[in-house]
Amino acid sequence: MTEAGAKAIARAAEIIRSGRLVAVPTETVYGLAADATNDDAVARIFEAKSRPQFNPLIIHIAGAEMAKRYVDFSLLASKLADKFWPGPLTMVLPKREDSPLSLLVSAGLDSIAVRAPDHDTAQALIKAVDRPLAAPSANRSGSISPTTTEHVRHSLGDSVDLILEGGACSVGIESSIVKVDGDAVTMLRPGGLAREVIEEFIGRPLADVPPSQSPQAPGMLASHYAPRAKLRLNASAPQEGEAFLGFGAVAANSPLALNLSASGDLREAAANLFKHLHALDRIAATHGLKGIAVAPVPMEGLGEAINDRLMRAAAPRGA
């Protein structure tokens, strides 16, 4: 790390320890981080994001050893951490009784969502603070997740005390969230680690939450991740007055069009998803367009998470 980088981390750590907020790059999306053991600091996150409710937050730790101070690991949870951490996998695990975490982090639940981010800056910050960081995506509630510092500035402006620069996020979509209860693994949110990869490792299909039981957590709100423009999904081409988000060969040769991945690569598409939605949203506003048409994206691999975010972005507002 450069001297300037080390200085920025030291300053960020000081800000976090004093109970204030820092936007931090991770491999998935930028997070709005606060000391997860400080109630007042965690409350500031909700305030800055204008989150309608106190939904539970993910805590970011350096790795399994640090996580074990706050949550209990089953044997399978330990194996998953060994295999996939640091990386875009969040595990919901039973909270330890002696955990010093703010109750706001878990919104009163007896479980905690933990993950170890795979990004040097995030890791350096966690180690410098030596406390877990609660960090949802660094954007106002309900708007598109940020994958660059410019997105963070645009969405949160002055409500964040410092924004750490870390370039564009390599994964570009939030982590996959699984609940690990002993041997049982349930998919709560598809994300940056494909379902198939987890299933191959555990040797069986992941359980899913029945729709009727799905917790009304932020990632579960119908209209989460919404751009301002209206989205029309599974479109083969733009109509008059629409911007276009292409995928693979389903593309439009127009200044109002972008392609998630010209070669049809789902990893590249995930990394570009929020960036392109941000850009097309601005194009739509500038040109007074009626909306954004989006090409079909296959459901395999990271396509599950991409389609999940697209469907939420397309859902009617105010849901």
Rule CB under 6 A: which residues touch ligand TXA?
26, 28-29, 31, 55-58, 90, 92, 106, 109, 111-113, 117, 135-137, 174-175, 177, 188-189, 217-219
Tell me which residue of 195, 217, 191, 193 sits closest to 205, measured CA to CA: 195
Cβ closest to Mg ion, residue 137 vs residue 155:
137
- Please report whether residue 272 would count as binding Mg ion according to CB under 5 A: no
Cβ closest to ligand TXA, residue 218 vs residue 303:
218
- Please report whether residue 143 would count as binding Mg ion according to CB under 5 A: no
Judged by beta carbon distances under 5 to 8 A according to partner kind, the member of Mg ion, ligand TXA, none in contact with residue 92 is ligand TXA
Cβ of residue 137: shortest distance to Mg ion, in angstroms? 3
Euclidean distance between CA atoms 271 and 294, whole angstroms: 16
Cβ closest to Mg ion, residue 137 vs residue 175:
137
Judged by beta carbon distances under 5 to 8 A according to partner kind, the member of Mg ion, ligand TXA, none in contact with residue 77 is none
Tokens linked to 205: 């299909």
Euclidean distance between CA atoms 227 and 248, whole angstroms: 22
Tokens linked to 132: 């877990």
- 54: exposed, middle or buried (Cβ count in 10 Å: 0-12, 13-18, 19+): middle
Euclidean distance between CA atoms 112 and 61, whole angstroms: 12
Cβ of residue 130: shortest distance to ligand TXA, in angstroms? 19
Cβ of residue 205: shortest distance to ligand TXA, in angstroms? 20
- Please report whether residue 137 would count as binding Mg ion according to CB under 5 A: yes
Cβ closest to ligand TXA, residue 149 vs residue 259:
149
Tokens linked to 61: 């730790």
Tokens linked to 5: 């980088």
DSSP class per residue in 170-213 = SS-SPPEEEEEETTEEEEEE--SS-HHHHHHHHTSPPEE--GGG
Cβ of residue 207: shortest distance to ligand TXA, in angstroms? 14
- Please report whether residue 55 would count as binding Mg ion according to CB under 5 A: no
Bridge partners, residue 84, by sequence: none
Sign of CA dihedral 119, 120, 122, 127: positive
Judged by beta carbon distances under 5 to 8 A according to partner kind, the member of ligand TXA, Mg ion, none in contact with residue 112 is ligand TXA
Judged by beta carbon distances under 5 to 8 A according to partner kind, the member of Mg ion, ligand TXA, none in contact with residue 189 is ligand TXA
Cβ closest to ligand TXA, residue 150 vs residue 249:
150
Place of tokens 């997105």: 151
Cβ of residue 261: shortest distance to ligand TXA, in angstroms? 20
Which residues form the interface with Mg ion (CB under 5 A)? Answer: 137
